[in-house]
Amino acid sequence: NDTVLKLIAYRSNALGQPQRKKVISRLRAYHGVTIASASLTGLPNNHRSFDLPLPNILHTGSPHFYKDGAPGESEEAFATRRAEELDALIQKEGPDTIAAFFGEPVMGAGGVVVPPATYWDKIQKVLKKYDILLVADEVICGFGRTGKMFGCETYGIKPDAMVVSKQITSSYFPLSAIILNDRMFEPIADESNKIGVLGHGFTAGGHPVGSAIALENLKIIEERGLVAHAAELGAYMQGKLRELASHPLVGEVRGVGMIAALELVLDRGRKTAAATPGAVGGIASRMLQERGVISRNMLDAIAICPPLIVNKAQIDDLVAAISGVLEDMKGEVAKLTPA
Ligand SMILES: Cc1ncc(COP(=O)(O)O)c(C=O)c1O
């Protein structure tokens, strides 16, 4: 993400638009922890006491319908509202000062936030209107997680740049890459031809071990049809998890393909958890681990992100463990102070 940000500035300068440097990200986004990436991230703990975000990085509202939707508002109306807010922010800042919009097709670390219906169509219309670049952070979604090769395909997103990592090597080796379209690449190439060099590179960039592992991993994903498998078993997993949706401690079950989350609450009607955010999620995470399930609680959202090779029996075991924990935790949860 840092590299893409640098290239966006470089491109604006190449196009003779030096004023076009601001970028827009979203609240609850997660894009990493280096200075620029942490600025793109929209989570308070990644900003607080770090003097972040950087001034040219702005945040618009999160796409989380369950948490941010107004009473009586439909998903589509919520998506329209978010697109209108984006338009208003661009107008306020000055459309010719905005270079790009960054977004995860499905938000990961912010709590597995699946975009509401029509959201990406409406956001892209606004970006198009002002000639603003779209960068898709595919670090979690890329290579099958959402049931298609990229999250962009799942949601009809046409990005100018994609940032990929994690499943490019199935995380057996650290590697990331960026993918640019011609609209991004050509001005950058022209500028570096003019200057004589693209002054940007890393000691370990293009590392042969990482590259070999990625190529082999991508070959295995293709050979074993893991993207189609993720779509099929993902649909199965989403269906099984939704059987838990009526449990009194479950506020929302959300997800797509092989990524999902259960939002745990004390009061389903008011959508509230305990006075201490993360207290309910922490209990669930601990009890799941005691049953041999490694999950991660993002505050009170329990994230579920199994390997793409998972089989039906393992999904059944996983959902049975979650179901058991929801029962086991009732006693401890009853002692918590509601928010
Ligand atoms: C969507 C997304 N983007 C970027 C990152 C940052 O990756 P790294 O921690 O390797 O810098 C992450 C890490 O979890 C992520 O989920």
Q: Give the model's pLDDT for residue 270.
A: 85
- Strand, coil or helix: what is 313? helix
Euclidean distance between CA atoms 136 and 121, whole angstroms: 14
**Distance from Cα 139 to the centre of ligand 1, integer Å:** 6
**Distance from Cα 164 to the centre of ligand 1, integer Å:** 9
- From the CA of 141, give the closest atom in ligand 1: 1
How high is the mean pLDDT in each 10-residue block of the chain (339 residues)? 97 98 98 98 97 97 97 97 98 98 98 97 98 98 98 98 98 97 98 97 95 98 98 98 97 98 92 92 97 94 97 98 97 92
**Distance from Cα 71 to the centre of ligand 1, integer Å:** 33
* Probe residue for ligand 1, chosen from 3, 4, 25, 31 as the CB with the greatest number of ligand atoms within 8 Å: 31
Euclidean distance between CA atoms 34 and 227, whole angstroms: 31
Q: What are phi and psi of 267, to 5 degrees?
A: -130, 105
120 CB less than 6 Å from ligand 1?
Answer: no
Give me the domains of the chain, ranges plus CATH numbers. 2-221 (3.40.640.10), 226-334 (3.90.1150.10)
123 CB less than 6 Å from ligand 1?
Answer: no
Counted residue by residue, the chain has a size of 339
* Probe residue for ligand 1, chosen from 2, 135, 139 as the CB with the greatest number of ligand atoms within 8 Å: 139
31 CB less than 6 Å from ligand 1?
Answer: yes
For 15, 71, 252, 273, the CA distances from 269, given in Å and listed in that order, are 52, 12, 11, 11
20 CB less than 6 Å from ligand 1?
Answer: no
**Distance from Cα 47 to the centre of ligand 1, integer Å:** 15
300 CB less than 6 Å from ligand 1?
Answer: no
For 256, 263, 299, 325, the CA distances from 218, given in Å and listed in that order, are 21, 33, 33, 36
Nearest CA to ligand 1 atom 10: 32
* Helix/strand/coil percentages in the chain, nearest 5: 45, 15, 40
Q: Give the model's pLDDT for residue 318.
A: 97
* Probe residue for ligand 1, chosen from 112, 140, 163 as the CB with the greatest number of ligand atoms within 8 Å: 140
Q: Give the model's pLDDT for residue 269.
A: 84
Any idea what the Cα angle at residue 275 is, between residues 272 and 276, rounded to 5°?
A: 115
**Distance from Cα 8 to the centre of ligand 1, integer Å:** 19
104 CB less than 6 Å from ligand 1?
Answer: yes
**Distance from Cα 33 to the centre of ligand 1, integer Å:** 8
- From the CA of 34, give the closest atom in ligand 1: 11
Nearest CA to ligand 1 atom 7: 32
Q: Give the model's pLDDT for residue 339.
A: 87
Euclidean distance between CA atoms 179 and 164, whole angstroms: 8
Identity of the amino acid at 254: R
